[in-house]
Amino acid sequence: DRDVTGVQTCALPISRMVRLDEQRTELQQLRSYTVAARHDASGELAGMTCVGVNPEYPAWGFQELTAVSRAHRGHKLGLLVKVGMLDLLARAEPQIERIHTGNADTNEHMVAINALLGYHVVSRWPGWQLDVAQVPGAVATQVPTGAGA
C-alpha cells in the first residue's frame, strides 16, 4: 500500500507495529528503545520511533522505524520523536557513537528530518518491487534452469 507521496504505508495501527517490533527485538536479543507521541485529546498514538542496540556492537544504534499516523502528519512529530530518541539514548546508552538509518529517497519529509539532524548518505541501494498479480503465468515457465535467486 502506498500513499500519494509514494511512501510505503502500513494498514496496521502504530500501536500494533510497536508490539510487533518489541517481539522481534526480544527474539533477536537486542536492546530496543521506543519514543512515542500521543494525541492528548484522543489518546491515539500519533507517532513513534524505535532504535535497537546490538550488545555485540554497542557503539552503534540501529534506527528501525519512525512513523507518524496520517491524521497527525504536518506537526513535526517525526522530528520531535527522533530528537526525543537522541535524548533518551544519550542517557540510556551513552557509549553510542553512531546511529545507522535507512530511508527511501521518495520519503522527502524523513530525508529532510535526517539531514536536519546531521545524518549523511553513506550508500544507496536500489529497491525492486513486483506486483505479482500483474505477472502472467507464462513468465514463470520461461525462467532458465538454475536461475535461482
Residue type at 130 in one-letter notation: L
Q: Could you say which DSSP state residue 32 is in?
A: E
φ, ψ at 90 (rounded to 5°): -60, -30
The CA angle 72-75-78, to the nearest 5 degrees, is 80
Q: How many residues does the chain have?
A: 149
Residue with cell 527522533: 82
Half-sphere exposure of 60 (CA within 13 A, CB side): 10
Q: Model-level pTM?
A: 0.71
**pLDDT per residue as tens digits for the range 75-134:** 999 999 999 999 999 999 999 999 999 888 888 999 999 999 999 999 988 888 888 888
